[in-house]
Amino acid sequence: MIFDLIKNRRSIFPAQYNNKPIEKEIIKKILEAANWAPTHKKTEPWRFKVLMGESKAKLGMFLSYKYMETEPKPKQIKVKKLIENPKRAGAIIAICMQRDPNESIPEWEEVAATAMAVQNMWLCCTEMRIGCYWSSPGLAKYMDEFIDLEQGEKCLGFFYMGYYDEEPPLVERRPVEEKVKWLE
């Protein structure tokens, strides 16, 4: 049931992944789920770059070098994490957004549509018992130095994915009544 799937969605991080590879056909299915996200004026702004194999390690090296280059006081633990996390993932999807060249809708709506595409991927991963999370480091703004982006396209972060063994902990939410006002 969709409600249970929504409630069971979790952020599962690379340290929890078990090194089992994710088949290309599975990734294609996850991307197809993304493609069915709502989109105002049918701009379909989501764009994805799938990193597998050696490209994951190259991403880690790029991010670590860029971090050391741009951070006045880089922390070694973060450098190590930037290198190791991509290698632990079964696949990484660079989440990109292609701005409508006509700017027929506000940019925030295209960001929101892209986020809905990511939510579709996340729910699909949850159903297939693939752990994932959306990392949105400030370093994403440099991705045009690592991969070719089209004019008007920007990287919004990375969708790390991997199989996992241990059950994720339950998550508590404050009651929805604390967040809703009824106007009658």
94 pLDDT band, cuts 50/70/90, is very high
Q: For residue 97, is it within any domain? A: yes
Q: For residue 108, is it within any domain? A: yes
Burial class (CB in 10 A: 0-12, 13-18, 19+), 4: exposed
- For the segment 148-164, the average pLDDT, to the nearest whole number, is 97
Range of the domain at 44: 2-179
- The pLDDT, as a whole number, for residue 152 is 94
List b or e across 34-64, with b for residues whose CB sees 16 or more CB atoms inside 10 angstroms: beebebeeebebbbbbbbeeebbeebbebbb
| 47 assigned to a ligand binding site | no
Under 8 Å CB-to-CB from 143, ≥6 apart: which residues? 94, 96, 149, 155
Q: Which residues pair with 160 in a beta bridge?
A: 92, 133
| 40 assigned to a ligand binding site | yes
| 10 assigned to a ligand binding site | yes
Q: For residue 38, is it within any domain? A: yes
Q: For residue 113, is it within any domain? A: yes
- For the segment 113-142, the average pLDDT, to the nearest whole number, is 96
- The pLDDT, as a whole number, for residue 171 is 86
Amino acid type, 122: W
**Tell me: the pLDDT tens digits for 15-40?**
999 989 999 999 999 999 999 999 99
- Name the CA radius of gyration of the chain, rounded: 18
13 pLDDT band, cuts 50/70/90, is very high
Q: For residue 52, is it within any domain? A: yes
- The pLDDT, as a whole number, for residue 1 is 84
| 173 assigned to a ligand binding site | no
Q: For residue 54, is it within any domain? A: yes
- The pLDDT, as a whole number, for residue 78 is 96
CA distance 59 to 139: 11
| 55 assigned to a ligand binding site | no
Q: Which residues pair with 158 in a beta bridge?
A: 94, 135
169 pLDDT band, cuts 50/70/90, is confident
162: CATH: 3.40.109.10
Total of domains in the chain: 1
Q: For residue 77, is it within any domain? A: yes
Q: For residue 184, is it within any domain? A: no
- For the segment 145-168, the average pLDDT, to the nearest whole number, is 96
